[in-house]
Amino acid sequence: MAQINENYLKLPGSYLFSDIAKKVAAYQAEHPEKEVIKMGIGDVTRPLVPAVIEAMHKAVDEMGTAEGFRGYGPEQGYDFLREKIVENDYAGLGIEPDEIFVSDGAKSDCGNIGDIFGPDNKVAVCDPVYPVYVDTNAMAGRAGDFAGDKWSNLYYMPCTAENGFMPELPKEKVDMIYLCFPNNPTGETLTKEQLKSWVDYARENGSVILFDSAYEAFITEADVPHSIYEVEGAKEVAIEFRSFSKTAGFTGTRCAYTVVPKALKVNGTELNALWNRRQCTKFNGVPYVIQRAAEAVYTEEGRAQIRENIDYYLGNARIIRDALEKAGLEVYGGVNSPYVWAKTPDGMKSWDFFDKLLTEAGVVTTPGSGFGPSGEGYIRFTAFSTKENTEKAMDRITNILK
C-alpha cells in the first residue's frame, strides 16, 4: 500500500496567503459593489521597465530563428547572467559565477534548499517569520509537531518591539538559521556589526545561515549591508537568496538566484556541489528569454528605470508610515523595506483588525499572527500598490480610526 508523507498532515490549515485570499473572495462575493484595495500580499503593480521588455522582445525574436533558438539551457543559469550578477551584485566580495544558481524564485529556493540538509538538523527561525521557512521544514520532518501556536522542534527567536525586532543569538546550538533582512514582515534591518555576530556564531557552532536578501534593493541607509558576504568569513557559513521579483517587478516573470559559496562545507562536504546535484536532478533551468530580461536589469538604462520603481514604492511606504502614525498607531519598517509593520490599536487581535480594515475600509492587509506567535497584535502593509490606491487606503483607514 502506498504511504504519504505524514508531515503534511501536521500542517495547520492552509498557507497564510491562501487563507487571506479566501476571506477577501468571500467578502467581495457578498459586497460586489465595494472597491477593495489590496495591501496584503507582496505583489508589485508597476509594469516591467522598458529595458527589460526590449531585451525580452529581442530574445523572443532570437528564439524564432534556427541560429538563435535554444532548447534546454544550463540548470545553473546561462553564463551571461551569472557573470553580470557577480560583476554588479558581488563586486569585490570574491563570489564566482559558478557559485551563482539562477532559479524561478527565492521562495522556491528557500524551500528547496532543505533537500540538501539532513532531517535531524535543529532549525532556528525569527518570530515573526516568512511562513515558507517554517512550512517547508515541517514538510521535511524537521519541525516536530504543531502544538498551539508553535512547532515543537523549531527554535524560535522572538523579534519584538522590546528588542528592536532584532533576534537574539540562540542560547543553544542550532544547525540551520534562517535570517531575512531587510525583514519580511517587520521591515526592520541589521547593521553590518549585528550581522557579524551571526556569522561568528555560525563559525563557532558549525551552523549554516540561510540568508534571504530578497529586499536588499530597498535599502536606503549606509550602515545596512546588502549582502551577508560583506561580513568577513560569511562565505564559509552562509547561503544567500536573491530575487528579481521585488527588485525588477518579476513576480510573474519568475527569476531569482541563490549563492552557494564553494568555501561552505558541512563535515567536509561542499554544499555547492550538493545544490548543483539537486538542481540538475529536479530543475530544468529558467527560460532563456527570462534570463535575457534579467540581464537587462544590469544595463545603465535598466538600473535607472528600476531605481525609479523602487523609489516609487518607498514613497508609498512613507505615505503608509505617516498616515498610520498620525492615526496613533505604533509603526515600524518602511524605510529600508517595502513593508510597514504596525501595532494594532487597543490590543486588538491581528485577525480582528484585519477583518475591521477589510469590512470597514475595504483594505486588505496581512495579520501579524500569521507570521508566528510574536506577530500577534500586529498587521503588515505592503507598499506595492499604486500611489493613488495607497493614498486612498490610508484616507479610509484614518477615517475609521478617528
Residue 55 contacts residue 296 (beta carbons within 8 Å):
yes
313 marked ligand binding residue: no
Residue 248 CA, distance from chain mean position: 14
254 marked ligand binding residue: yes
243 marked ligand binding residue: yes
C-alpha torsion sign, points 266, 270, 273, 275:
positive
Residue 247 contacts residue 310 (beta carbons within 8 Å):
yes
106 marked ligand binding residue: yes
184 marked ligand binding residue: yes
353 three-class SS: helix
27 three-class SS: helix
Cell numbers 472597491 label which residue? 35
Cell numbers 561552505 label which residue? 264
Contacts of 348 (CB under 8 A, 6+ apart): 356, 377
Q: Residue 328, exposed/middle/buried by CB under 10 A (0-12, 13-18, 19+)?
A: exposed
Rounded to 5°, the CA angle 142-129-12 comes to 60
244 marked ligand binding residue: yes
Neighbours of 13 (CB within 10 A): 8
| Per-residue DSSP letter, 174 | -
Neighbours of 144 (CB within 10 A): 16
284 marked ligand binding residue: yes
Taking the C-alpha atoms of residue 348 and residue 325, their distance in angstroms, rounded to an integer, is 17
15 marked ligand binding residue: yes
| Per-residue DSSP letter, 217 | G
Contacts of 246 (CB under 8 A, 6+ apart): 42, 44, 214, 215, 217, 218, 338, 384
| Sheet strands (E) in 166-313 | 176-180, 208-212, 238-243, 256-259, 265-266, 269-270
42 marked ligand binding residue: yes
C-alpha torsion sign, points 10, 15, 18, 19:
positive
Binding site residue list:
15, 42, 72, 106-107, 130, 184, 215, 243-245, 254, 284, 380
Binding site residue list for substrate:
15, 42, 107, 130, 184, 284, 380
Binding site residue list for pyridoxal 5'-phosphate:
72, 106-107, 130, 184, 215, 243-245, 254, 284
